[in-house]
């Protein structure tokens, strides 16, 4: 006997929701998914009418679904937002060029303006060149730090009020686990926030409307709605530490599907003891971007790349900031430590 | 082996958990704070009293296993059997064990209970707690001292030593030890969340030797989200784990999102009508949603019989009510249990008492003056 949808109880169920285990037909699932995103947006008060919002689009499934759902909800519930697509070109041949084509197709489908910023024009380095210097182990640090600033700069060029990214529930849960494993207390508190605090010059607040949507549900949604997206892993990512957290989370999900939400719930309820030293937000002395140290991370990383010291920026280097700022040459011992790269 | 240590020892059977009074899950008032200067006096006093009592021969102590009525064993088996997943079973077992420890400590007159968790085990416990949704209770589950029971403090003096160090020590100094298999010994990696986390941490430790110590340092820096921790009202504590409740449905929280999903999965797509949005009432949909999701693949077919008719409606009020008394992760454990009738009597009676009390509170709520509200 065919299973009936638990929503409308009339039609035959077409899928089983990974999040709750209910069997739903297509329309009820679309409705539930979109409505959840809508409620998240409303409950967290993410947007105000009349704002310009940049959608960080990479061509992957999360950002494609995000663009689709944002456009749909904007019309359905009259958010009054002006939407734009923003994309970053890291310069990874074979991976990024293809996904950028997808973004351009999205732009035509959804009729939204698009802006692409590239690492080459912002920093003078592509990811391929960076990996040649840095190796395969720490390159994700470079890419992530550079991308954050690239998004902000692109947003300022487009003059948007907010950026929204396609981070889903799995991403947030992985980040919580990763921060616990790495002992990163400062980030542990901030990573479950649905939107960042908006202070400082050159920083555009960003939010995650898909924060409570499971990755599997996003794929189901894109599949049934026949959305066009690019689905390949970044070639440089297999050795990232995040991979461990990801496999662990996937295993957890197979034991108990609600684990992802449980991890996010735990992360939201964690608090740090008083008296623990936390970093204070300031500005970078060189480029004016927000930073908790004298120099922001991307300045430090760039300095390391330009000088041929790839390990500058990985690991502890606070003491070297003053030296870098005042353009003093580093001692030989320091240079030797920073040059060694293990592939 | 216990006799060889020379300490007085008590062997308590898990079946005795059926007989516990309901005061176990209530927080007793803590003894008055003693200033530090009295510490030496207190130690001196303690040494004197123990040296005098040491004259009682060990043979008078209970050396054989306690007598256990068979009915209790049967009840216990039913209770453990009603938890469908191994994760829930282990969680339940831990809770019952802790209740028993606390009760024994109270009756025998001990003020502190020392637990033997080492660094490795605590790191695994921390990660497990996060994945089970016990983030709010982390500081109490893995910290050095755990004062949630009021008069009894649980301490973990071994939390600085890793499992390997302890093993070497025992070997070098010929300390006798016994291995007792637990529920998840020799099971596959994915049998339960606790087992999965344990294998994950051990594997990660091989590649990144600093994993366990990093997790341990993280646990030192955490504290409970203090939300009305000053209130002594027992209704603010979870029924099973006696920690502060973390189920306040705040705006834009994961808990709210879960409730929304449960509810939306059971409402009809409005179709052409469009704008009518169904009122959110998690209470009525929660029990049926709970039944559906705990059933698994085969049982989802039950949905066709209608939302509320999944399980016998007589059980609905009980399950709903217990849920409101539990913290987030204990609710998850309860979800995995097929029925709540098998829970020991003390838990059920305490639950009913709290419900009656909260009903009373509701009736007179308009006449109560909150602390800190209004005039002096």
Is A264 within 8 Å of B253 (Cβ atoms)?
A: no
Is B235 within 8 Å of B26 (Cβ atoms)?
A: no
The whole-model pTM stands at 0.79
Q: pLDDT class for A91, splitting at 50, 70, 90?
A: confident
- For residue B261, list chain A residues with Cβ-Cβ distance below 8 A: 17, 19-20, 32, 36, 212
* DSSP characters over B222-241: EE---SS-S---GGGB-TTT
Check whether B273 has a pLDDT greater than 50: no
pLDDT in tens, A263-277: 998 888 887 776 677
Check whether B308 has a pLDDT greater than 70: no
- Supply B318's token pair: 């009980």
Distance, CA of A155 to CA of A162 (rounded, Å): 8
Sheet with B112-114: strands ordered across: B112-114, B153-155, B145-146
Angle separating helix axes B328-335 and B86-108, nearest 10 degrees? 120
Predicted local confidence at residue A168, as pLDDT: 92
Contact A261 B257 (CB under 8 A): yes
H or E segment and range at residue B170:
helix B163-172
Compute φ and ψ for A204, nearest 5 degrees: -105, 130
Residue of chain B whose alpha carbon sits nearest to that of A248: B200
Complex-level ipTM beyond the 0.90 threshold: no
Higher pLDDT, A172 or B183: A172
pLDDT exceeding 90 applies to what percent of chain B?
A: 9
What value does the mean pLDDT take over residues A318-339? 63
Min CA distance, B136 vs chain A (Å)? 5
Check whether A146 has a pLDDT greater than 80: yes
pLDDT in tens, A247-268: 999 999 998 888 999 999 888 8
Provide the CATH topology of domain A41-269. Rossmann fold (3.40.50)
Predicted local confidence at residue A17, as pLDDT: 86
* DSSP characters over A56-95: E--SSHHHHHHHHHHHHHHHHTT---EEEEEEEE---TTT
Give me the residue spans of the domains in chain A: 41-269, 282-337
SS3 B189: coil
Q: How far is CA A248 from CA B135, B203, B279, in A?
A: 18, 11, 37
- For residue A268, list chain B residues with Cβ-Cβ distance below 8 A: 135, 253-254
- Supply B361's token pair: 């509170």
Nearest-CA neighbor of A13 among B298, B301, B261?
B301
- For residue B143, list chain A residues with Cβ-Cβ distance below 8 A: none
SS3 B155: strand
Min CA distance, A37 vs chain B (Å)? 9
Residue of chain A whose alpha carbon sits nearest to that of B271: A27
Check whether B302 has a pLDDT greater than 50: no
Residue of chain A whose alpha carbon sits nearest to that of B244: A269
If you average pLDDT over each of A95-99, A138-142, A170-174, A272-276, which comes out highest?
A170-174
Burial readout B164-193 (b: 16 or more C-beta within 10 A, e: otherwise): eebeeeeeeeeeeeeeeeebbeeeeeebbb
Predicted local confidence at residue A73, as pLDDT: 92
Contact A30 B269 (CB under 8 A): yes
User: Could you tell me where the DSSP H helices lie in A256-309?
Assistant: 259-268, 297-307
Q: What's the mean pLDDT when you consider all of chain A?
A: 82
Give me the residue from B215, B246, B251 closest to A43, CB to CB. Answer: B251
Distance, CA of A237 to CA of B216 (rounded, Å): 28
Predicted local confidence at residue A324, as pLDDT: 66
Q: pLDDT class for B358, splitting at 50, 70, 90?
A: confident
- Supply A144's token pair: 């992530």
Q: How far is CA A159 from CA A122, A199, A209, B285, in A?
A: 17, 16, 20, 44
In this complex, how many residue pairs, one in chain A and one in chain B, have their CB atoms less than 8 Å apart?
196
């Amino acid at each position: 006997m065919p299973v009936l949808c638990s929503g409308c109880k009339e039609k035959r169920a077409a899928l089983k929701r990974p999040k709750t285990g209910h069997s739903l037909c297509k329309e009820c699932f679309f409705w539930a998914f979109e409505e959840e995103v809508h409620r998240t947006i409303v409950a967290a008060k993410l947007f105000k009418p009349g704002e310009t919002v940049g959608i960080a689009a990479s061509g992957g499934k999360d950002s494609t679904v995000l663009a689709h759902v944002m456009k749909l909800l904007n019309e359905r519930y009259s958010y009054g937002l002006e939407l734009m697509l923003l994309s970053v070109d890291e310069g990874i041949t074979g991976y990024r060029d293809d996904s950028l084509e997808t973004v351009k197709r999205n732009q035509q489908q959804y009729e939204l303006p698009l802006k692409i910023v590239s690492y080459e024009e912002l920093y003078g380095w592509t990811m391929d060149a960076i990996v040649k210097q840095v190796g395969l182990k720490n390159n994700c640090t470079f890419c992530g730090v550079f991308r954050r600033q690239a998004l902000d700069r692109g947003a300022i060029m487009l003059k948007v009020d907010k950026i929204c990214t396609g981070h889903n529930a799995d991403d947030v849960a992985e980040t919580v686990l990763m921060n616990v494993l790495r002992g990163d207390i400062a980030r542990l508190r901030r990573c479950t926030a649905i939107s960042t605090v908006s202070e400082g010059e050159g920083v555009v607040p960003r939010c995650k409307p898909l924060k409570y949507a499971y990755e599997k549900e996003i794929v189901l949604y894109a599949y049934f709605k026949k959305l066009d997206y690019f689905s390949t892993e970044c070639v440089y990512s297999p050795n990232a530490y995040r991979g461990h957290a990801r496999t662990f989370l996937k295993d957890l999900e197979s034991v108990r599907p609600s684990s992802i939400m449980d991890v996010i719930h735990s992360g939201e309820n964690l608090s740090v003891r008083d008296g623990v030293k936390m970093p204070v937000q300031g500005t970078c002395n060189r480029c004016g971007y927000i930073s908790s140290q004298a120099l922001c991370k991307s300045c430090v990383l760039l300095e390391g790349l330009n000088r041929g010291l790839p390990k500058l920026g990985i690991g502890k280097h606070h003491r070297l900031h003053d030296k870098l700022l005042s353009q003093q040459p580093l001692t030989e011992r320091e240079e030797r430590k920073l040059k060694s790269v293990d592939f | 082996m216990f006799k060889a240590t020379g300490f007085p020892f008590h062997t308590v059977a898990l079946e005795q958990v059926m007989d516990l009074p309901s005061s176990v899950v209530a927080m007793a008032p803590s003894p008055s704070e003693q200033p530090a200067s009295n510490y030496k006096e207190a130690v001196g006093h303690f040494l004197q009293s123990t040296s005098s009592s040491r004259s009682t021969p060990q043979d008078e102590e209970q050396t054989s296993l306690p007598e256990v009525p068979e009915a209790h064993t049967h009840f216990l088996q039913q209770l453990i059997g009603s938890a469908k997943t191994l994760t829930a079973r282990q969680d339940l077992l831990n809770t019952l064990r802790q209740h028993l420890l606390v009760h024994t400590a109270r009756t025998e007159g001990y003020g502190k209970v020392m637990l033997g968790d080492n660094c490795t085990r605590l790191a695994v416990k921390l990660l497990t707690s996060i994945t089970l949704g016990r983030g709010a209770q982390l500081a109490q589950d893995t910290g050095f001292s755990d004062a949630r029971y009021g008069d009894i403090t649980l301490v973990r003096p071994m939390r600085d030593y890793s499992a390997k160090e302890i093993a070497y020590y025992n070997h070098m100094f010929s300390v006798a030890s016994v291995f007792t298999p637990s529920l998840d010994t020799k099971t596959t990696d994915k049998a339960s969340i606790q087992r999965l986390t344990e294998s994950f941490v051990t594997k990660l430790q091989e590649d990144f030797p600093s994993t366990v110590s990093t997790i341990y340092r993280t646990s030192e820096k955490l504290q409970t989200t203090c939300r009305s921790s000053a209130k002594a009202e027992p209704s603010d504590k979870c029924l099973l784990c006696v920690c502060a409740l973390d189920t306040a449905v705040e705006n834009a929280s994961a808990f709210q999102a879960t409730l929304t999903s449960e509810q939306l999965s059971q409402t009809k797509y409005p179709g052409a009508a469009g704008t009518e949005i169904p009122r959110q009432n998690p209470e009525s949909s929660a029990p049926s949603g709970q039944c559906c999701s705990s059933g698994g693949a085969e049982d989802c077919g039950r949905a066709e019989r209608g939302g509320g008719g999944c399980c016998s409606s007589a059980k609905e009020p009980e399950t709903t009510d217990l849920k409101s008394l539990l913290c987030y992760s204990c609710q998850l454990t309860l979800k995995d249990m097929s029925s709540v009738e098998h829970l020991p009597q003390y838990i059920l009676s305490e639950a009913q008492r709290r419900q009656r009390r909260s009903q009373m509170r509701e009736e007179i709520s308009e006449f109560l003056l909150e602390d800190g509200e209004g005039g002096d």
